[in-house]
Amino acid sequence: MAQLHNRVSNIELKQKMYEETFPRTTISFYKYFSIPEPTIFRDEMYKQLVALQVFGRIYIATEGINAQISLPSHNFEAFKLYLYSIPALNGLRLNIAVNDNGKSFWVLRIKVREKIVADGIEDPGFSMENRGKYVNAAEMNNLLQDQETIVIDMRNHYEYEVGHFDKAIEIPSDTFREQLPMAAEMMKDKKDKNIIMYCTGGIRCEKASAYMLHQGFKNVFHLEGGIINYANKIKEEGLQSGFKGKNFVFDERLGEKITDDVIAKCHQCGKACDTHTNCKNDACHLLFIQCEECAQAFDGCCTTECKDVYHLPLEEQESLRAGNKNGIQVFNKSKQRLRPRLGIDIEVK
């Protein structure tokens, strides 16, 4: 029987990825469609993608597929051939990364989950069949010029902080499942307005648009392919970007430049900066924004306390971590945990 999971350490896998001599292409895609047997679907996909040297993170559920991957550029056409051989995925839009060095993933993980986007929706009457209207890049720019148009960002605070569309509204919650009812409540007196929802690659805003329609909103749109597809289309079509700054991505790159605008600040000194990093203290791994000067001063750590731990012998670090999970995860969604950790007030405007 074929091996359906990895047995090599992450350190070795990452090193092998960096030693590759061929270029890789980073791609994201998703599709809401019925998968009656997600485990069987997952196992077959794993075998096919391993053969094509695909790395990345893929979630499978009865409601569809959500994927962020990298693959050898020379295997791109073979990958498309396989993917499009699945009837429901034939012709699926593939979002090609905007700024891509190919070093986004170093292992393939395909997991079966209850949902491809955790939404907290329990209403049996909710359906993804009734979703908002797609808008392309040109249509997005036109709608942005309308003062009556409401633009809603369906991403987390650390994504919004480094880049967003002009006049976009942030939904100030730490999880997508909390954002959905909050967005509906915030917009409850605007049910007849044009509302555009957007996210990184389209998967969250597509579900959010369906949720808003389910809540009685009339004119709901969502950005086709999210920020990634938008950024590619404005380049192809010579359009001005309504998105300013950097698009946060959930891989080794942690971001891709859409425009040269730097709208965020270093969380340690306040200097203009939009470079995310994870604290090098393995007991912390806080995701935060750090400029080059602070990275040198703190050795890539978020506080002097973490810096002190980082310089302890490995045995002592492991002893301190014994029995404890990382206090702050790699992709932390809570502003409330950033504030006390860094000792400053971090607000997203």
Q: Which of 12-21, 219-228, 320-329 shows the highest mean pLDDT?
A: 219-228
Alpha carbons 15 and 152: distance in angstroms, whole number: 40
Q: Domains in the chain and their CATH numbers?
A: 10-112 (3.30.70.100), 133-237 (3.40.250.10), 276-342 (no CATH)
What's the pTM? 0.81
Is pLDDT above 80 for 236? yes
- Percent of the chain beyond pLDDT 90? 70
Q: What is the mean pLDDT of the chain?
A: 88
Catalytic residue among 199, 273, 284, 306: 199
Among 33-37, 117-121, 265-269, 287-291, where is mean pLDDT lowest? 117-121
pLDDT in the model for residue 217: 95
pLDDT in the model for residue 2: 46
pLDDT in the model for residue 251: 77
pLDDT in the model for residue 215: 95
Is pLDDT above 90 for 345? no
Question: Phi, psi (5° rounding) for residue 248?
Answer: -70, 135
**Banded model confidence at residue 343, pLDDT cuts 50, 70, 90:** low
Task: Report, as an integer, the average pLDDT of 121-128.
Answer: 90
**Banded model confidence at residue 331, pLDDT cuts 50, 70, 90:** very low
- Percent of the chain beyond pLDDT 70? 89
Q: Which of 16-20, 71-75, 312-316, 325-329 shows the highest mean pLDDT?
A: 71-75
**Banded model confidence at residue 275, pLDDT cuts 50, 70, 90:** very high
Task: Report, as an integer, the average pLDDT of 216-240.
Answer: 95
* 332 touches 250 (CB < 8 A): no
pLDDT in the model for residue 199: 95
Which has the higher per-residue pLDDT, 181 or 5?
181
What pLDDT, in 10s, does the model give residues 155-178? 999 899 999 998 899 998 878 999
pLDDT in the model for residue 335: 54
Question: Which tokens sit at 170?
Answer: 């942030």
Active site residue 199: yes
Task: Report, as an integer, the average pLDDT of 120-134.
Answer: 91
Alpha carbons 15 and 163: distance in angstroms, whole number: 31
What pLDDT, in 10s, does the model give residues 46-75? 999 999 999 999 999 999 999 999 999 999
**Banded model confidence at residue 325, pLDDT cuts 50, 70, 90:** low
pLDDT in the model for residue 341: 54
Sign of CA dihedral 289, 292, 294, 297: positive
Is pLDDT above 90 for 81? yes
Is pLDDT above 70 for 339? no
What pLDDT, in 10s, does the model give residues 293-321? 999 999 999 999 999 999 999 888 888 87
Amino acid at 194: N
**Banded model confidence at residue 6, pLDDT cuts 50, 70, 90:** low
